[in-house]
Structure 1
Amino acid sequence: MSERVVPPADRRRRRPTKQGVVLSEELIVSTALRLIEEHGADALSVRRLGRALGADPSSLYRYFRHADDLMLAIADELIGRTLRLWRPTGDWQEDLRDLGLKMHAGALAHPRAAVLSSCRVTGRAHEIQAVETILGVLRDAGFPDGEAVRIYHAYVDQALAFGALDSAAIALPRAAREAEASVWRATYARLPADTHPHIAGTARHLVADMGRSSYPAALDLLLSAAAARLQEIRARQERPVPDRI
């Protein structure tokens, strides 16, 4: 896509495409998301999108300036899909755990798109809502502003990083995934104790654990550390101030 763009007020297409559908930003994003999972980043070509939509490729410029603009919209849509599934309870640890797991599951549901979008900052509505929501959970829990931002940063980067890592693994060809999974049984579980005592001593646990994502465990560790930090903050706030002489 080029840098051309139509002003927002003129973007709506009133006539159906060749396939009888009326173009919208939502339709273009959902179609692009489907094509990315089928074809990877090449799906963002205006020609391929236009063909899938049954529309003249040039009509897409009414909605997106270029392919990167569309990629940001896709990234924001993935965030929006996660937020629509999340229901807060008022328990900050449980709420952040549930949201993190839903973010991770959303990435695995669209692995190729997650790999492409995990490092992007969209500045769009759903991302803004997510930032506001997570910071609100942390501030309402009692974290000072600076601490809330630091924990937010670590929390979001952890979710995005694991989403991209596990999505990249899922996107591998099936034969490659199976070959890598077998390495723990075929190689590590057979290393002798006299040369590799620590691997040999934990081999059965390695075989059982290394085939699944460590994100839930990493998330629990992060939230436990955050809870411990909050206890420290509260203890410091409750500590009596010594009288001045």
Structure 2
Amino acid sequence: MPKSVVAEADRRRRRPTKQGVVLTEQMIVGTALRMLREHGAAGLSARRLGLALGADPSTVYRYYRNMDELTLALGDELMRLALAEFQPTGDWREDLYLLGMRIHRVHLEHPQAAVLTASRVSGRANELAADEVILAALRAGGFPDRVAVRIYHVFIDQVLAFAALDAASLVLPARALESDQRVWEATYEHLSARTHPNLAATATLLADRMNDSAYPAALTMVLDSAAAELRVLKTLKAASGSRDRRR
């Protein structure tokens, strides 16, 4: 006999768990984020996730083929949280600044998940929605498609790279993080001007800045560069149009 075809949605658990609830993808992802926050990446497994959900661990695989697929879903959830209540203003630069800061902030609120997911590409709904918002802002702002794609590439890679970098420091053991932060004052501020003239000259300024994320400044620099390029493109377009009218 031919094998029966079972829709993917029908494979998912319909009976209540031991805790009396019916599982959903959102519930699994939310529980996984909590487990990462409380126990770190080493504490997340199908067995532990099943226990936390009050279900057999195999139930997780009705929703996700493996734990890597769940990891991609976690990254998509971070994008969903970043997009929640985001309302475009119609100003491409303002929109990209606000969205970039939201994506960065959400990742730092879930640093363990950020470390796992920032380098991944899921192609899931919320990731696609974020990409649509970014490209829509750039194209509506007047950037030609080739330029818009280049700026999108820099923008999204920059925010995720900083999210991964800053999140990695947050998941360090507290003693290691405190030790790293003290280096700027304990070491840099006591360097000799003879051996390290530039570091010695800027040591106090470095100590004031280096324990804070550089992302806001880096994002502003990228947007400043994009705005300057747009001004040049508009000037060239206007000049070309003027020449065409004189012919």
Please, what TM-score do these two structures have when normalized by structure 2?
A: 0.93
Change (3 A) 1:197 1:76: same
Distance 1:170 1:44 in 2: 18
Task: Give the structure 2 partner of residue 217 of structure 1.
Answer: 217
Q: Mean alpha-carbon deviation: is it higher for 221-230 or for 8-17? A: 8-17
State the 1:38 CA deviation. Answer: 2.3
Q: Which residue of 2 aligns with 1:3?
A: none
Q: Which residues of 2 match residues 176-195 of structure 1 at below 5 A?
A: 176-195=176-195
Partner of residue 243 from structure 2, selected from 237, 241, 244: 241
Answer yes or no: is the 8 Å Cα contact 1:10–1:62 preserved in 2. Answer: no
Residues 115-136 of structure 1: CA deviation (Å, up to 9, x unaligned) = 1000111111101111111000
Q: Confirm or deny that 1:64 pairs with 2:64.
A: yes
Q: How many equivalent pairs are there?
A: 240
Deviation at 1:113, TM superposition (A): 0.4
Which ranges of structure 1 fall in alignment gaps of 5 or more residues?
Answer: 1-5
Return the alpha-carbon distance in structure 2 between the equivalents of residues 173 and 119 of structure 1: 22
Task: Answer yes or no: is the 8 Å Cα contact 1:44–1:67 preserved in 2.
Answer: no
Q: Distance in 2 between matches of 1:116 and 1:203?
A: 34
1:21-54 deviation digits (Å, cap 9, x = unpaired): 2111110111111112223333442111111101
The equivalent of 1:39 in structure 2 is 39
Partner of 1:13: 13
Q: How far apart are residue 242 of structure 1 and its match? A: 6.4
Matching of residues 36-115 of structure 1 within 5 Å: 36-115=36-115
Give the alignment's Cα RMSD to 1 decimal: 1.6
1:243 Cα offset (Å): 8.5
Of 228-237 and 82-91, more deviation after overlay is shown by: 82-91
Moved more, 14-23 or 141-150: 14-23
Measure the CA separation in 2 of the matches of 1:116 and 1:128. 19
CA distance in 2 between counterparts of 1:87 and 1:197 reads: 48
Unaligned runs of 5+ in 2: 1-5
Comparing 230-239 and 83-92, the one that deviates more: 83-92
Deviation sequence 1:138-168 (CA, Å, 0-9, x none):
0000000010000000000000000000000
d(CA) in 2 for partners of 1:19 and 1:152? 44
Q: What is the one-letter code of the residue matched to 2:209?
A: D
Question: Matched residues, percent identical?
Answer: 55
The answer (yes or no) to whether the contact 1:32–1:43 under 8 Å persists in 2 is no
State whether residues 83 and 130 of structure 1, in contact with CA within 8 Å, keep that contact through their aligned partners in structure 2: yes
Matched, 1:199 2:183: no
CA distance in 2, matches of 1:135, 1:222: 15
CA-CA distance at 1:57 after TM superposition: 1.3
Does the 8 Å contact 1:43/1:49 carry over to 2?
A: no
| SS class of match (1:65) | coil
> Which residue identity lines up with residue 76 of structure 1 in the other structure?
D
Change (3 A) 1:85 1:43: farther
